[in-house]
Amino acid sequence: MSNFIDFFAQRVDAALDLLRGLVEMESPSTDKVAVDRVVRFVADRARVAGAEVTIIPQERWGDHLLARWGAGEGGFLLLCHLDTVWPTGTLAERPWRVEGERVFGPGVYDDKASAAIILTALEGLQAMNLSPRYPVTVLFNSDEEVGSPSSRPLIEAEAARARVVFCVEPARPDGALKVWRKGTGRYTVTALGRAAHAGADHEKGINAIEELAHQVLRLQRMTDYGAGTTVNVGRIEGGTRANVVPDQASVRVDIRVKTMAEWERISAAITALQPFLPGARLMVEGGMSRPPMEASPVTLEPFRRAQDIAAGLGLTLTADGTGGASDANFTAAMGIPTLDGLGALGDGAHSVDEYVLIPSLVERSALLAALLREW
């Protein structure tokens, strides 16, 4: 199968053109019209590549897209998101740019290159007259960067029917696949006090900002780097003006955990927070948004299998993990074999330095085609 590499190497210009087209259609999660345009573009490409295509309309977020090659249970489920974190207009500031082996542009690495790799792999198999070993469903969703609120039920329903899930999200910079990801949680902690005139009645007030300051320190101290647990107070607001004792203040908190046990510990500690100042009250809202994907047979067995198939192409696959969550967190938590990080090599996801290594478009298209043929 090493000729897959040669085959896709001959198509690298076409893959780059496709990637450029995807990058130059900006698609921030929050701009439905923009995301829907990319969804239609990908739907058309998938149709030409032989897929049966279904668009699942959404009201608030962009539409989702199911592209199926073959029908029936026990097939492959590929996940890829078409939304990005970049607001419309970013492209004008940082246009598509090729420098040596690197290509730059908003969303190029996370996750537009993955869409290009998936389409290139399936178009390639079609051109070679080769069929995937099992039916293929690709779910292109449009709300991954905001936590997949509307696509999660769809992801879980499709995963329940699948033999294995390939989450085509960026690889680590060195190409490593992801066999674990931290889970994420979000909380809002609000302190409620009593308003008073800062001059006339200072002693009658209960300062919600003071109360919250104590809670911020408690929250930050819950971080345990050794366990891989972080608690980040990332946003704070409260009060009205300097001469009023504030009666309300709140923080937004991001939690990352490697294990469910750590999640239980942290969520219990946060919900058990007690007010520090007499008369103050606390309100705690929130919970888990994506469960942790723990390194376990659910991720390690498919990784070893992929390693063997990659070796047949002359590629060496390594495994790693990350603090960022993806839709693989959902499918792995269901116990469905899940392989994550099959996208392009590069770096700088969610940063202005984001880039993709062009040769990895060839390798990853060949790898995906081989996985679909030989699994």
The residue ranges that bind Zn ion (CB under 5 A) are 110-111, 169
Provide, rounded to whole angstroms, the least separation between the CB of residue 81 and Zn ion: 6
Nearer to Zn ion, 186 or 214 (CB): 186
Is 354 one of the catalytic residues?
A: no
Provide, rounded to whole angstroms, the least separation between the CB of residue 144 and Zn ion: 6
Provide, rounded to whole angstroms, the least separation between the CB of residue 348 and Zn ion: 12
Best CA proximity match to 158, nearest among 247, 286, 269, 71:
71
Provide, rounded to whole angstroms, the least separation between the CB of residue 32 and Zn ion: 19
Provide, rounded to whole angstroms, the least separation between the CB of residue 349 and Zn ion: 7
Nearer to Zn ion, 32 or 81 (CB): 81
Catalytic residue among 123, 144, 211, 294: 144
Nearer to Zn ion, 110 or 211 (CB): 110
Nearer to Zn ion, 110 or 294 (CB): 110
Nearer to Zn ion, 187 or 355 (CB): 355
Best CA proximity match to 76, nearest among 64, 89, 67:
67
Nearer to Zn ion, 125 or 332 (CB): 332
Q: Could you tell me the two tokens for 328?
A: 């693989």
Best CA proximity match to 180, nearest among 278, 80, 291, 88:
291
Nearer to Zn ion, 110 or 247 (CB): 110
Provide, rounded to whole angstroms, the least separation between the CB of residue 174 and Zn ion: 18
Per residue, what are the HEC states of the chain? CCHHHHHHHCCHHHHHHHHHHHHCCCCECCCHHHHHHHHHHHHHHHHHCCCEEEEECCCCCCCEEEEEECCCCCEEEEEEECCECCCCCHHHHCCCEEECCEEECCCHHHHHHHHHHHHHHHHHHHHCCCCCCCCEEEEEECCHHHCCCCCHHHHHHHHHCEEEEEECCCCCCCCCEEEEECEEEEEEEEEECECEECCCCHHHCECHHHHHHHHHHHHHHCCEHHHCEEEEEEEEEECCCCCEECCEEEEEEEEEECCHHHHHHHHHHHHCCCCCCCCCEEEEEEEEEECCECCCHHHHHHHHHHHHHHHHCCCCCCEEEECCCCCHHHHHHCCCCEEECCCCCEECCCCCCCEEEHHHHHHHHHHHHHHHHHC
Length of the chain: 375
Provide, rounded to whole angstroms, the least separation between the CB of residue 169 and Zn ion: 5
Nearer to Zn ion, 110 or 262 (CB): 110
The Cα 98–Cα 20 span in angstroms is 10
Provide, rounded to whole angstroms, the least separation between the CB of residue 200 and Zn ion: 54
CB 346 within 8 A of CB 113: yes
Active site residues: 144
